[in-house]
Structure 1
Amino acid sequence: MSLDKFTHVFPAMVTPMNEDGSFNYEVAKKHIDWMMDNGIGGIGVLMASGEYQSVTLEEHKAYVNEIVPYVKAKGGSVIVGCSRERVEDACELMNNAYKAGADAAMVLPSFYYHQSQEEIIDHYTYLNDNSDLDIMVYNNPNVTSGISKETMQTLYKLPHVKIVKDASMVIDVMTDFIFDAEKAEEDKGVLCGCDYLLYQAYATGAIGWISMTANILPKLSADFHHAMIVEKDYQKGLELYKQLYPVVNMTERFPKPTQAVKYILQEVYGFEEGICRRPRRGMSEEEKKLVIEWSEIERLSKTNKN
């Protein structure tokens, strides 16, 4: 199946940064090693939780050129976040990611100007025609124009559009995308982009998951994926989903999810994740306490090894 390289949990990996805002590649690689040692088969690089919005084009390229080959050498798949307001900039980042060995680019429609459905089709057609990298269409109407069912049917006809990440947080939207992917002339697939709709998405036919949760619970996340995709044991998957739920609930609903994930990685697992770049501020002591309690991470962390 041509979608095998996308049939994974992809942690939307946070980007470790030193106090001066520079990338901490050593910690990034240690985090990747730990996640993959716990069963993760793919890594999402410089997605929203990776703070792509706060890095320059040149910084983006440098990080991709260091991290993508590292993951590929370990046998993992890589999807790189390449969203930019200018489609030409997104394409430039895609071409760099392609040269670095990435498997696909995750790209939003332009996000300040609310595009019409025809303009969304033009956006992805430009990317399809000007890069050799496969595309993961990213539907997230919370931050840009939502993609309609009819538009997605058209986008499925583009040869480089292989997968869709749906973060609409509306299960019927995701279901439409999944069922239409199954009807497409070539293999197409949908990855869940809303952590707390995880079970529903997989039970409906999602082939994978773009996950903030997997940053901090890689083994449970990988075990869930295996139960649902490989074993087809939906009762086992449901029990694992119930275990994951405190964290998936927190990552989707806490207003500072990137900061929360970095804090948990440092406080619970010992990874020196460092700062978040502006405009993100650190968490208060009260917020830190809330995140630990809400996620039940001290109990759940025992399912992973460091």
Structure 2
Amino acid sequence: MLEKYAHVFPAMVTPMNEDGSFNYEVAKKHADWMMDNGIGGIGVLMAAGEYQSMSLEEHMEYVNIMVPYIKQRGASVIVGCSRERVEDACALMNNAYKAGADAAMVLPSFYYNQSQEEIIDHYTYLNDNSDLDIMVYNNPNVTSGITRETMKELYKLPHVKIVKDASMVIDVMTDFIFEAEQAEEEKNVLCGCDYLLYQAYATGAVGWISMTANILPKLSADFHNAMIIEKDYQKGLEIYKKLYPVVNMTERYPAPTQAVKHILTEVIGFDEGICRRPRREISAEDKAMVVEWSQIKELAKTNKM
């Protein structure tokens, strides 16, 4: 097991002021709170962090401030570095490497339906042009899906260390886990679908890229520890059942970033601010609905404040 990646990594939302600028004070407080509640890794500028709505320069600025801040607390950091142009993704990776990040999470290019050979070329370019570890991100809902045979080839790249599977299909994740176990070098898989986390860990995933951990860090960390450290799957199942209202909401509600920011602001107490275009603020009715759906007011009591 690659221990620095065997963590829950909250896909951290990015606090923003009314003018769209970054609110670093809130970002640091939120990160501190999650780590104080047992979180051992942070995901910076993943999809929940609205990286798609940022320029390359803004991305680099945020990484250069937040990655060293988190690293000095002893947590691992994975930075979302996906871009349509592989050269841009590589530039973001190299900046994250200099800032001290442990790995980059990178999708295949979007929009264009890549062949499996083109996906291999994409990650080979990243492998050959950056010294940063790579987390291959399989999400066929937003770009070309990665087959088991292709993942077997990607595992041969020395900088490919981990995979995030967000296919929402447990047998796909299981295929990637089994291929990782057959790889010549150590490779690991992290769950990328919140409501499949128990099944993923029970099958062999070593960590979790999590929207839920933004708002329930202690319970998320407790689940991970039960499954990975204690090997107590019954305890893990009971914690998973407690988490389920939130993991169900974060995966099935169509605007999860807005929902998480609203809950953090109104229930937890962090002023996360606005979301950038094209995201719009959700309605008052939806705000009330996601709070009720997630049962967060009661579950939030499990966090240390």
Provide TM-score, normalisation by structure 2. 1.00
Runs of at least 5 residues in structure 1 that lack an aligned partner in the other structure: none
Q: 2:240 corresponds to which residue?
A: 241
Q: 1:298 corresponds to which residue?
A: 297
Alpha-carbon offset, residue 269 of structure 1: 1.1
User: 1:188-229 CA distances to partner (integer Å, 9 max, x unpaired)?
Assistant: 000000000000000000000000000000000000000000
Structure 2 residue identity aligned to 1:183:
Q
> What does residue range 118-129 of structure 1 map to in structure 2 within 5 Å?
118-129=117-128
Runs of 4 or more, structure 1, over 4 Å off, are none
CA distance in 2, matches of 1:293, 1:27: 25
User: 1:25-47 CA distances to partner (integer Å, 9 max, x unpaired)?
Assistant: 00000000000000000000000
Structure 2 residue identity aligned to 1:232:
K
User: 1:233-255 CA distances to partner (integer Å, 9 max, x unpaired)?
Assistant: 00000000000000000000001
Structure 2 residue identity aligned to 1:287:
D
Q: 2:262 corresponds to which residue?
A: 263
Q: 1:230 corresponds to which residue?
A: 229
CA distance in 1, matches of 2:139, 2:38: 28
Structure 2 residue identity aligned to 1:33:
D
Structural RMSD (CA): 0.4
Q: 1:116 corresponds to which residue?
A: 115
Q: 2:219 corresponds to which residue?
A: 220
CA distance in 1, matches of 2:156, 2:9: 24
CA distance in 2, matches of 1:305, 1:207: 24
Q: 2:60 corresponds to which residue?
A: 61
Instruction: Provide the secondary structure at the position in 2 that maps to 1:268.
Output: helix
CA distance in 1, matches of 2:33, 2:145: 35
CA distance in 1, matches of 2:90, 2:228: 32
Identity %: 84
User: 1:44-82 CA distances to partner (integer Å, 9 max, x unpaired)?
Assistant: 000000000000000000000000000100000000000
Instruction: Provide the secondary structure at the position in 2 that maps to 1:237.
Output: helix
Structure 1 residue identity aligned to 2:242:
Q
Q: 1:163 corresponds to which residue?
A: 162
Tell me, yes or no, if structure 1 residue 101 matches structure 2 residue 78: no
User: How many aligned residue pairs are there?
Assistant: 305
Structure 2 residue identity aligned to 1:288:
K
Provide TM-score, normalisation by structure 1. 0.99
Alpha-carbon offset, residue 305 of structure 1: 2.1
CA distance in 1, matches of 2:153, 2:215: 36
Q: 1:76 corresponds to which residue?
A: 75
Alpha-carbon offset, residue 133 of structure 1: 0.2
Tell me, yes or no, if structure 1 residue 185 matches structure 2 residue 184: yes
Q: 2:171 corresponds to which residue?
A: 172
Structure 2 residue identity aligned to 1:299:
E
Q: 1:132 corresponds to which residue?
A: 131
Q: 1:289 corresponds to which residue?
A: 288
User: 1:132-178 CA distances to partner (integer Å, 9 max, x unpaired)?
Assistant: 00000000000000000000000000000000000000000000000
Runs of at least 5 residues in structure 2 that lack an aligned partner in the other structure: none
CA distance in 2, matches of 1:218, 1:121: 35
Instruction: Provide the secondary structure at the position in 1 that maps to 2:190.
Output: strand
CA distance in 2, matches of 1:183, 1:234: 24
Tell me, yes or no, if structure 1 residue 36 matches structure 2 residue 54: no
CA distance in 2, matches of 1:282, 1:138: 28
CA distance in 2, matches of 1:269, 1:196: 22
